[in-house]
Amino acid sequence: MQRIFNKKVSVLILSLVSFFWVSMARAICPVCVVAVGAGLGFSKWLGVDNAISSVWIGAVLMALVLWTIIIFKKKNWDFIYYSLVITAGYYLLTFVPLYYAGIVGHPANIIFGTDKIIFGVAIGSIAMLASNWLNIFLKKKNNGKVFVPYQKVILPLIILLIISLILWKII
């Protein structure tokens, strides 16, 4: 029991430290990523299909990619194709372990002829990019101001929830 408690405390501390570290980037707001991560945990707890929960994984991955790219820009750590290297790095660090664990590439884990996790991550990544673009677009339309408080959080959550509900109906 003490071991489980220590793991939970360690995860909490690591989450809080990383939350404050990445908040400097401001590419995608930290609250949004926490909300998306909570949605992912909640969906797995409910036994939601891999295609749907992977949408949320893709959103978190894209948020991490955008944060890291902004940090690199702020620190002038640019090198040739750094955005591509960062993106490939995050996605490889996600998919390679899942592949070797037999989770990605499993023959029973297919939707529309594609692995459910790869499909969901692709959809979630695109959704996160789209919500970020939509937020920027809406702010430009409103003279640099948001239309509603927490617009940067609400947009990705609504888009991801709609996609999740559509996939739930399909599956």
pLDDT digits (tens, 9 = 90+) for 12-28: 444 444 444 444 444 45
**Domain limits for position 162:** 26-170
* 3-class state of residue 27 by DSSP: coil
The pTM (predicted TM-score) of the whole model is: 0.71
Q: Quick check: is 77 in a domain?
A: yes
**What pLDDT does 79 receive?**
82
Q: Quick check: is 34 in a domain?
A: yes
Q: Quick check: is 13 in a domain?
A: no
- pLDDT tens across 76-101, in order? 888 888 889 999 999 999 889 888 88
Q: Quick check: is 16 in a domain?
A: no
Q: What 8-state DSSP symbol labels residue 1?
A: -
Q: Quick check: is 71 in a domain?
A: yes
Region 27-52 average pLDDT: 70
Give percent above pLDDT 90 in the chain: 27
Torsion angle, alpha carbons of 148, 149, 155, 161, to 10: -110
> How many distinct structural domains can be found in the chain?
1
Q: Quick check: is 8 in a domain?
A: no
Q: Quick check: is 2 in a domain?
A: no
In the predicted structure, residue 67 carries a pLDDT above the cut 80 = yes
